[in-house]
Amino acid sequence: MKKRIKIAVGAFLALAILGVGAAAGLYFSVKSNAVQTPGEVYLPPGSTYNDLLDSLSAGEVKFVNISRFDRIAHYLNADQSVRPGHYAVTAGMDYLRLVRTFQRGWQTPVRVTFNNVRTLPQLAGKIAPQIATDSVTLAQAFLRDTLPAHYGFRPEELIGMFIPNTYEMYWTVTPEEFLDRMKREYDRFWTAERDSLCARTGLSRNEVITLASIVNEETQKTDEMPRVAGVYVNRLRRGMPLQADPTVKFAVNDFTLRRILFRHLEVDSPYNTYKYAGLPPGPIAMPSVRAIDAVLNYENHDYYYFSAREDFSGYHNFSRTLTEHNRAAARYHAALNRLGVR
């Protein structure tokens, strides 16, 4: 009897040891380092687990043991619920963490950058390569008739809602989520300090951005932007037409023009500030933050005119009177003539 008890106890202990050993083996298996070469994985919407395996097998990420990853994924039912997204696979990640990352959608944000944009379709073209949505779908979302009113803008003002910058967001962001994010960033941009400066100009937020889009097109010299903005503020306050060449280029839909001719000035468009006084209906492009802040911090002076310098430095000659301005403009046009620019 005692002998049978000893055998039973021995067998139990042996099984217990085997169980502990198996558990320990499983623990070290799932918690061991899985990554040989780190990298990034992009899993498009609609991808299956097999697509994930193909991406992992053929991509820049190299595994210590891809078969072990597959076994653990099946054991945890991760092969039934992979999530699309952008994932950064880093050195030292263990198998369990890696499987859970794809199973639960623990995405790594991407950095989305945009600037120097003139139109909403162009914005869609810049954003699409940086996220999972294609440019056509984005453009359709941006151009929906009901969209501007939803965010509190008129259609011609909507481009001003997008503040150029670099933003972190998930690669799988939808057009609607992107637009909501941009509205939040717009509201965040307009701090109490900027709103106070806006009140000083006598313009609304949208008018500031519209004027900034003109300033941005007139000069790329950051240090000159507040002076250019001051000229336009002076003209607005006097009720003088802005006579801004970039608005004419927008009206004729040709920003490549080097010279504005009399026939361009006759184009009947609310954006032609030679023909119509005041600001145009909306921005002629997406202004930079520097240009917006230049308008908010416009320079107080008594200049009402400016003309490009004849040295083609990118800077301008500023004038108080039309006579002074005409002389400066004549020097610039003479320089263009010498170069054969028409």
Residue type, 145: D
Average pLDDT over residues 154-173: 96
How far apart are the C-alpha atoms of 320 and 301, rounded to whole Å? Answer: 9
> Where do you find CATH 3.30.1490.480 in the chain?
29-104
Percent of the chain with pLDDT over 70: 91
CA atoms within 13 A on the CB side of 189: 23
Output the CA–CA distances (angstroms, integers) from residue 142 to 30, 38, 150, in the order listed: 45, 36, 12
Distance (Å, whole) CA 80 – CA 73? 9
pLDDT of 63 over the 80 cut: no
8-state DSSP, 21 = H
Q: Using one digit for the tens of pLDDT, what is the confidence trace for 194-208?
A: 999 999 999 999 999
Q: Residue 187: count other Cβ atoms within 10 Å of its Cβ.
A: 12
Which tokens hold the place of 276? 């119509």
User: Dihedrals φ, ψ of 204, to 5°?
Assistant: -80, 170
Structure tokens at 222: 């950051």
Residue 103's contacts (CB-CB under 8 Å, 6 or more residues apart) are 73, 76, 78, 81, 82, 83
Cβ pair 185, 264 in contact under 8 A: no
Task: Collect all residues with Cβ–Cβ distance below 8 Å to 285 and sequence separation of at least 6.
Answer: 117, 118, 159, 213, 216, 217, 250
Q: How many other C-beta atoms can be found within 10 angstroms of the C-beta atom of residue 191?
A: 10
pLDDT band at 336 (very low <50, low <70, confident <90, very high): confident
CATH code of the domain made up of 29-104? 3.30.1490.480
Instruction: Check: CB of residue 109 under 8 Å from CB of residue 168.
Output: yes
pLDDT at 2: 54
- Is the pLDDT at 5 greater than 90? The verdict is no
What does the pLDDT average to over 241-260?
Answer: 89
Single-letter residue type at 176: E
Name residue 93's amino acid: M
Q: What is the pLDDT of residue 27?
A: 47
Question: What amino acid occupies position 13?
Answer: L
- Whole-number pLDDT of residue 341: 74
d(CA 199, CA 221): 25
Tell me: pLDDT of 62 over 90: no
**Pairwise CA distance, residues 212 & 150, whole Å:** 24
Please tell me what DSSP assigns to residue 340. T
**pLDDT in the model for residue 235:** 97
Average pLDDT of the residues of the chain: 88
User: Which parts of the chain are beta strand (E)?
Assistant: 35-37, 39-43, 62-63, 85-89, 110-114, 165-169, 305-308, 316-319
Four-residue CA torsion sign, 297, 301, 304, 307: negative
Give, rounded to a whole angstrom, the gap between the first and last alpha carbons of the chain.
Answer: 115
pLDDT digits (tens, 9 = 90+) for 265-324: 888 999 999 999 999 999 999 999 999 999 999 999 999 999 999 999 999 999 999 999
How far apart CA 77 and CA 66 sit, in angstroms, is 16
